[in-house]
Structure 1
């Protein structure tokens, strides 16, 4: 090859994703966690983060892969007592999935269950405990069940228990897809 031929062949242009600062790696969902005793506590109730980064003694960042299901609990108090209770079950999204913007979750996640207030959170926590008591990992529970709980909670209807039969049916359905 001569010098003229090398100069005549243009270099390949980088792909659109690379030019926009995105690589071929899967996009990760970052969740901010805080622990300030007697003031605010934001922690994971369940979930399998790919990595946890400690920023300082009070703050951490949990990183989730696309499709991961996790639960974040937020509790806040002031000098007079508890002022905020919140529990959210979310699913980390891939680059092209529709996601909701949630404070402390970047770039966002699919919200499956959102319970706000003392009574709503106290209604959901025993259901999570019951799932774990059956030996079922809450991250493996059907996203449809979490959405159904959210709808039942909003309508103030009875909250169904997640059974082993329901879990087996979910695993069979997921195996067919």
Structure 2
């Protein structure tokens, strides 16, 4: 007499969406002269208007974006901040950040208007080279963050450095 084996159960697929459909969302608020959040760079793939003063933008996994947050009251600026974030894939860990869901790989996080201005000038200099800041090597944003934190001048991003990054990215993919 042959023994019948119990039917094998096929495990359910993971609850996480596939990496190609994984998105990171940034919530943007705009109340003129009080609270202003905006995206300085980054390829938005989704844009949802929640109200006249709030919208949510989505970024695909791997996308770099810069979120600028500024607020003030009757006495002047109370907070200014810029975060440069890489949207994570479904299987990567991430850091939670205010107004970013679920979070991201934080490459640069700077507070205070003088420091934010240094980052904005660096972004402008990169754009002057006709390079999309969203395509810049993530290591450069970490370098910029660390040099600002140490109170030192950051090195400029160059076309040569960008070419090396593009070659490295091609080799890693």
1:113 equivalent in structure 2: 108
Residue pairs, 1:136-147, within 5 angstroms: 136-147=131-142
User: Is the Cα contact below 8 Å between 1:73 and 1:86 reproduced in 2?
Assistant: yes
Query: Is 1:167 aligned to 2:162, yes or no?
Result: yes
1:52 equivalent in structure 2: 47
- State the 1:26 CA deviation: 2.5
Q: Which structure 1 residue ranges, 5 or more long, are not aligned?
A: 1-9
The Cα offsets for residues 4-55 of structure 1, whole Å up to 9 and x where unpaired, read as xxxxxx8x767142xx4x4446221111001100100000000011111100
1:152 equivalent in structure 2: 147
2:12 equivalent in structure 1: 15
1:103 to 79, 98, 110: 98
Residue pairs, 1:22-33, within 5 angstroms: 22-24=16-18, 26-33=21-28
Greater Rg, structure 1 or structure 2? 1
Query: Is 1:92 aligned to 2:87, yes or no?
Result: yes
2:36 to 25, 38, 41: 41
Aligned-partner SS, 1:15: coil
Query: Is 1:133 aligned to 2:133, yes or no?
Result: no
Q: TM-score, normalised by structure 1?
A: 0.88
Separation in 2, partners of 1:101, 1:175: 29
Q: TM-score, normalised by structure 2?
A: 0.90
2:71 equivalent in structure 1: 76
1:5 equivalent in structure 2: none
Separation in 1, partners of 2:26, 2:58: 6
Aligned-partner SS, 2:125: helix
